[in-house]
Amino acid sequence: MQVILYIDPGTGSMLFTVLIGILGAFVYTLRMLWIRLRFRLSGGRSKDTREKHPFVIFSDDKRYWNIFAPICRELGSRGIDTVYFTQSPDDPALTQKDPHVKAVCIGKDNRAFTKLNYLRSDILLSTTPGLAVYQWKRSPEVKWYVHIPHAPSDITLYRMFGIDYYDAVLLSGDYQAEQIRQLEALRELPAKELVKVGIPYMDEMAARLSQAEQLPPHPTTVLLAPSWGESALFSVYGGEILRVLLETGYHVIVRPHPQSFVSEKERIAALQREFPESDRLEWNRDRDNFQVLRRSDILISDFSGVIFEFSLIYDKPVIYTDPNFDLGPYDAWWLKDPLWTVGALPRIGEALTRENLPQLKSLIDACLQDPRYAAGRQQVKAETWAEPGQGARLAADYLEAKLRELNAKEEG
């Protein structure tokens, strides 16, 4: 009799994630034991020369500088300096002129993790998930870890255990707090401090838009901004969507995710050869997406966070793809409630499917003209963008108060 052992995809993904975490912890433990042995063999003569920083930000990629810049400025206006660790040697933070921000590139992979795992600081703020899950461990000499999301959407769309080991999370909507509390209860975790501060970087973009000059008349412009990966738009539709878009007669801007030029280099290159730039098609790789979003009348994307930036800041409709998205590796797999995003998207735009792809022009026209999407955008904005215009101030209020609290405990 043949016995077949079956593990469902969700459980398999969870077990794989746990296994990777255990292996990472094992390697880290061995490294720590070796360092301690070397210290003892030296007779304990080594001195701890590590500088202590009251407040540190860690960014794993240059594209997150816009998340932190408003908070840095607000803290600086209060006399609080920031040490900004980045893994990108071309991070804009390294060339900014703010006297209150000391930016340092700490390298990639093990070099960066070693720096972070032995850090001395009162508070570390980051948008990077996975603390204490993989190579990045909690340093015994960092008192408080704070997470800030980099998109106004479900906090459960991180890989499993993504924010479990942070002490606090800065949120933009009540639904995010509910999701975290459910995960804490399921995993028997201590309650984090959850602070609803809004979205500082979107406040900044909205203020910039309000001060921008009015655009001159232009043809109806469609922005195609896919994410990357097997569930992303180009993986699902390939060049077919570009052919259909060009048949609409509208001006088309294609702006792939920056990671696509790394992880999907051949696919993007093939699409650029098949669909070269012309008077009706342009490929956009601007580091700053402000102008390309402003020039576009409608956005087509998949599960990229740019959907909510475009819809809620620029107050314009979207068309979103509905890929077969496997929740197995993500925190959302643990919860019974549907994703907030699933209920939000139909209120701000239309879903693109293989069945309605040939009618894409009609879909675009309906989104541009139907007033119900404008009303839906206001509903979604109220749910996911708390305290518009106040994000940096509220984030700095919390961080400053926490610094005082931690110092008072140390002195007491």
Instruction: Using alpha carbons, select from 157, 175, 178, 172 the residue that is nearest to residue 203.
Output: 172
Whether the pTM exceeds 0.75: the reply is yes
Question: What pLDDT score was predicted for residue 104?
Answer: 97
Is residue 17 predicted with pLDDT exceeding 90?
no
Angle in degrees, CA 114, 118, 124, rounded to 5: 105
53-110, pLDDT tens digit by residue? 999 999 999 989 999 999 999 999 999 999 999 999 999 999 999 999 999 999 998 8
Diameter over CA atoms, the chain: 77
Q: Report residue 113 as tokens.
A: 């993790």
Dump pLDDT digits (tens) for 229-245.
887 899 889 999 999 99
Residue with tokens 């195609």: 224
pLDDT over threshold 50, residue 163: yes
Tens digits of residue pLDDT in 286-315: 988 999 999 999 999 987 788 999 999 999
Angle at Cα 177 formed by Cα 172 and Cα 181, nearest 5°?
A: 165
- pLDDT of residue 320 exceeding 70, the answer is yes
| CB distance 360 to 245 below 8 Å | yes
> Which two tokens mark 28?
């880290």
